[in-house]
């Protein structure tokens, strides 16, 4: 009679046991027609040398936590390899449904002079994709983009192309911080697009609990938005955070007229990175991270680009299995 006991247990647990979800309008939304329920998201790889020097057989890499972060919300991942040509980028772009810029290490400029010369690799390649995203949206296609930490800073560099866009901050070793949300956050797509009620709950968590992991030596000062009108014309600041010295920096942004979002903090680490004691793994930290993942992937479903299966299969991240490095990242995917 074991199966009867199983049925009793199964029937005794339902969404009603989780009122914060059951009572949310997100649980009662009808299925939307016309969405792409097989989204494929491109992740720009980062150069391994001289920034990380992981002992791997690869010139570039992606931290696997970003891959799993997107996969958990129902997306597949294709690496956009930074050492590949612009022609390869042009091939991939119309076949993808969105793009993510990860955190990590890479220089924005060839040197640290005050001449705003974009690097021939990371910033140049990233801003090329950024410009393609803007152009696609300007032409009427919905094409989302997300940047985390280094990628968040890249979104600002691409919008402003000024050396002084990125400032120095005291953000190492990693730490957690609450958010001071702006009025723009309460009406933002990221906190209303999935569910107004659920979005408000996540905002409350983020403003009252240390669920946002930061690991950075650079960032964007709020005063930079006053200094460079290009930034305030492009983005709404959604939150302000503070580094270990108390200096304020921009925590979250949402583009005013484009489906572009960015966070200085790392939502993916709460779910998949374990090598730093400061990373929060408690329930509400996971709620915040899964909300961010589900929001962005939900936006990529609005893009109807098609990647033919015979072309997609050799491009999927599955062709480069994760490598356990037990370092700053648990695992990475490496590319030659």
Q: Which residues are catalytic?
A: 149, 266
Which residues on adjacent β-strands are paired with residue 78? 42
Cα–Cα distances in angstroms (integers) from residue 13 to residues 21, 269, 283, in the given order: 14, 29, 19
Report how far Cα 105 is from the mean position of its chain's Cα atoms.
Answer: 15
DSSP state of 109: B
Contact by Cβ (8 Å): 102, 62: yes
Per the listing, tokens 């120095």 go with 168
Cα–Cα distances in angstroms (integers) from residue 247 to residues 155, 244, 316, in the given order: 21, 7, 41
Length of the chain: 336
d(C-alpha 71, C-alpha 65), whole Å: 10
Q: Which long-range contacts (CB under 8 A, 24 or more apart) does 319-326 make?
A: 320/79, 322/64, 322/67, 323/56, 325/54, 325/55, 325/56, 326/275
């Amino acid at each position: 009679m074991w199966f009867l006991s199983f049925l009793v247990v199964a029937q005794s647990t339902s969404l009603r046991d989780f009122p914060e979800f059951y009572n949310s309008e997100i649980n009662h939304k009808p299925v939307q027609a016309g969405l792409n329920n097989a989204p494929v998201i491109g992740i720009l790889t980062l150069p391994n040398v001289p920034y990380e020097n992981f002992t791997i057989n690869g010139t570039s890499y992606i931290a696997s936590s970003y891959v799993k972060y997107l996969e958990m919300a129902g997306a597949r991942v294709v690496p956009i390899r930074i050492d590949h040509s612009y022609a390869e980028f042009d091939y991939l772009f119309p076949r993808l449904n969105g793009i993510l810029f990860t955190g990590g290490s890479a220089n924005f400029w060839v040197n640290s002079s005050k001449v705003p010369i974009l690097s021939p690799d990371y910033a140049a390649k990233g801003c090329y994709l950024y410009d393609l995203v803007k152009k696609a949206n300007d032409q009427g296609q919905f094409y989302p983009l997300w940047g985390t930490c280094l990628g968040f800073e890249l979104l600002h560099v691409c919008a402003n192309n000024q050396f002084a866009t990125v400032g120095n901050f005291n953000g190492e070793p990693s730490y957690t911080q609450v958010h001071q949300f702006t009025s723009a956050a309460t009406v933002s797509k990221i906190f209303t697009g999935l569910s107004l009620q659920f979005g408000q709950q996540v905002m409350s968590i983020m403003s009252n609990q240390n669920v946002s992991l930061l690991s950075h030596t650079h960032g964007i000062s709020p005063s930079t938005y006053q200094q460079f009108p290009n930034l305030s014309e492009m983005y709404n600041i959604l939150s302000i955070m503070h580094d270990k010295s108390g200096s304020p920096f921009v925590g979250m942004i949402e583009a005013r007229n484009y489906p572009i979002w960015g966070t200085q903090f790392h939502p993916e680490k709460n779910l998949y990175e374990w090598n730093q004691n400061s990373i929060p793994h408690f329930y509400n930290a996971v709620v915040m991270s899964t909300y961010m993942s589900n929001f962005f992937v939900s936006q990529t479903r609005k893009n109807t680009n098609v990647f033919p299966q015979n072309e997609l299969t050799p491009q999927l991240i599955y062709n480069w299995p994760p490598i356990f490095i037990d370092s700053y990242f648990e695992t990475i995917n490496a590319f030659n």
